[in-house]
Amino acid sequence: MSMTARQLSRVHRGPRTSVFGPPSRTVALHPTDLDIADGESIGIIGESGSGKSTLIRLLLALDTPTTGTVAVDGTNVDFTGSAASLHWLRRRTGLVFQDPYASLDPRMSVGRIIGEPLWALDIPGDRRARVREVLEDVGLDAAMAERYPHEFSGGQRQRIALARALVHRPSILIGDEPLSALDVTVRAQILEQLAELRERDGLTLVLVSHDIGVVQSLCDSVAVMSEGRIVERGATADVLHHPAQEYTRRLLAAIPTISPERD
């Protein structure tokens, strides 16, 4: 699935700073163009507050842009329309957040949590069977559907969140720092699973990450964000090893995990 953003921006207006003064204004995203090709895996990096979450929330129509458009496979997203008018977009997209615990209802069985998008999006078929299948896709046991979130470790809960994002077979998976709460071993396992799913299902992947190792192993390309702008975009090896921007150089220098270049 391809995505195209044109002149996409988001300004937040706060309260007036004085009675006669103008409202305060935060530009979370300056007018931005971005093309994501079908089957591409793109990493988005940048310091905290640079606009990464704003960008992906706009791409998913979880927020309304101040200016600009988003098109998915050539069809424009209708930001002002009803929930029903966005059904097609929800059907084709999956989202994983950083903190799986906050997004998992403790009173619901894991099977119900994972299966919920199938009911919400009214997707036909044997839903219980699909839940068992996707549990196995993310490296969990199908029998875990009967259990509850508190019975799982952090790594398992992150897999549950991933299964929930994948259960309706989206064409694009978007993760907002989906692996940053995990230890190195679990992260590596989930990375491997994501790479496999990508290979098998041709998933398009958009991954916001602080971890250059994650970007390096999973992403074909990288977009670097600073102060609400994409300041650099290119093939992963080029951006990580031959950054064009001073900002990217400084960002990478602050992250010690980058591995030596292989040619």
Q: Which residues bind ligand ADP (CB under 6 A)?
A: 12, 26, 28, 46, 48-54
Partner touching 168 among Mg ion, ligand ADP, none, CB below 5 to 8 Å by kind? none
Q: Which does 80 bind (CB under 5 to 8 A by kind): ligand ADP, Mg ion, none?
A: none
Closer of 30 and 169 to ligand ADP (Cβ): 30
Residue among 28 and 118 whose Cβ is closer to ligand ADP: 28
Residue 164: which of ligand ADP, Mg ion, none does it interact with, CB under 5 to 8 A by kind? none
Token pair listed for 253: 């220098």
Extended strands (E) in the chain: 3-16, 23-36, 41-46, 67-72, 75-76, 93-96, 172-176, 204-208, 221-226, 229-235
**Partner that binds at residue 175, options Mg ion, ligand ADP, none, CB closer than 5 to 8 Å by kind:** none
Q: Which residues bind Mg ion (CB under 5 A)?
A: 53
Q: How far is the CB of 140 from ligand ADP (least distance, A)?
A: 28
46 binds, among Mg ion, ligand ADP, none (CB under 5 to 8 A by kind): ligand ADP
Measured from the CB of residue 228, what is the shortest distance to Mg ion in angstroms?
12
Pick one of ligand ADP, Mg ion, none as the site partner of residue 197 (Cβ within 5 to 8 A by kind). none
Least CB distance to Mg ion at residue 214 (A): 15
The tokens of 61 are what?
């129509």
Nearer to Mg ion, 118 or 225 (CB): 225
CB 239 within 8 A of CB 222: yes
CB of 65 to Mg ion, least distance (A): 17
Question: Which long-range contacts does 72-78 make (Cβ < 8 Å, 24+ apart)?
Answer: 72/1, 72/2, 72/3, 73/1, 73/2, 73/38, 74/2, 74/4
Q: Which is nearer to ligand ADP, 67 or 193 (CB)?
A: 67
Q: Which is nearer to ligand ADP, 41 or 50 (CB)?
A: 50
CB count within 10 Å of CB 99 equals 16
> Shortest distance, CB of residue 37 to ligand ADP, whole angstroms?
23
Q: Which is nearer to Mg ion, 140 or 165 (CB)?
A: 165
CB of 216 to ligand ADP, least distance (A): 20
Binding partner selected for residue 236 from Mg ion, ligand ADP, none, CB under the kind-specific 5 to 8 Å limit: none
Contact between 84 and 31 under an 8 Å Cβ cutoff? The reply is no
Measured CA distances, 218 to 44, 195, 225 (Å): 12, 7, 18
Half-sphere exposure of 139 toward its Cβ, with a 13 Å CA cutoff?
Answer: 19
**Token pair recorded at residue 189:** 């396992």
Spatial separation of the C-alpha atoms in residues 154 and 53, rounded to whole Å: 22
Smallest separation (angstroms) from ligand ADP to the CB of 24: 9
3-state SS class at 206: strand
* Pairwise CA distance, residues 63 & 65, whole Å: 7
Q: Which of 36/59 has CB closer to ligand ADP?
A: 59
